[in-house]
Structure 1
């Protein structure tokens, strides 16, 4: 049976992952400072993205995401293991993105991946210390 503390920790970690999704989907890069540790390592390379520290990740997102007309991060099926002030998690992410070619013809890119996370409690707040993406699929559906 889960203790009240572990239930609370899991809920706080799930909220942290939702805040990540909202920060990215609303392009509020500064909010990522409240999601990741200052020394975080973020590896998006499995899906063709960057790998590096938080500053490099924010620069990558700010440069790359304007190429998409719309996108969402839909997360679910989190498996979280808490051990005191550290935790690990594996969370499903479905990431649909609308892209347009030079003529304005739109296509839907569907990305399915898993976030593999290491979390730490910093000053009483959970933060992501390490995030790696594991590729599930990437598919571009051309417009009619």
Structure 2
């Protein structure tokens, strides 16, 4: 399927909205970006960095992403997007800021890739399937942070 400019813009917006919903902890809004039968496949770090845990439907997707509520600050940065028809290849850097035992903030950084399948329903693009693969993980010291 060849995408027109409007479809490409909508799909890039879909990807950006996913990141924004994650950072705002709007898990219901995030799940609404999926089709009713949408599938999210996540890794199980540190045991597995590849997509191994499958969640189907909006309720399971919300439950799967609920650990985000335990992270004080996240920042999901989209660093690359390639759309091949109804498939997307998205590169992202995900920062997860937490406080270490010694009271200093730390950033757990995931360098990751999403493989997406999109479906248009009632004139709107949604994720039909989204698989997350972590390429590598690093930990960084954070000098200061602003907790909203």
Query: Is the pair's TM-score, using the shorter chain for normalization, greater than 0.5?
Result: yes
Alignment of 1:108-127 (within 5 A): 108-127=107-126
Partner of 2:127: 128
Structure 1 pair 91–97 and aligned structure 2 pair: CA distance change class (3 A): same
Alignment counterpart, residue 83 of structure 2, candidates 80, 85, 94: 80
The number of residue pairs the alignment matches comes to 136
Alignment counterpart, residue 34 of structure 1, candidates 13, 32, 35: 32
Partner of 1:15: 13
Matched, 1:97 2:96: yes
Q: Which has the higher helix share?
A: 1
Q: Provide the aligned C-alpha RMSD in A.
A: 2.1
* Cα offset, 1:68, TM superposition: 1.6
Gapped regions of structure 1 (runs ≥ 5): none
Runs of 4+ with deviation above 4 angstroms: 46-50
Structure 1 pair 33–96 and aligned structure 2 pair: CA distance change class (3 A): closer
Alignment counterpart, residue 64 of structure 2, candidates 60, 63, 66: 60
Moved more, 121-130 or 33-42: 33-42
Indicate the SS of the match to 1:44.
strand
Moved more, 130-139 or 52-61: 52-61
Paired with 1:129 and 1:47, the residues of 2 have a C-alpha distance of 24
Any idea what the Cα deviations from partners look like across 1:7-63, whole Å, max 9, x if unmatched? Answer: 11111100011111111111111212431101011011165685312312211322x
Gapped regions of structure 2 (runs ≥ 5): 144-148
Partner of 1:140: 139
Moved more, 13-22 or 102-111: 102-111
Paired with 1:46 and 1:59, the residues of 2 have a C-alpha distance of 15
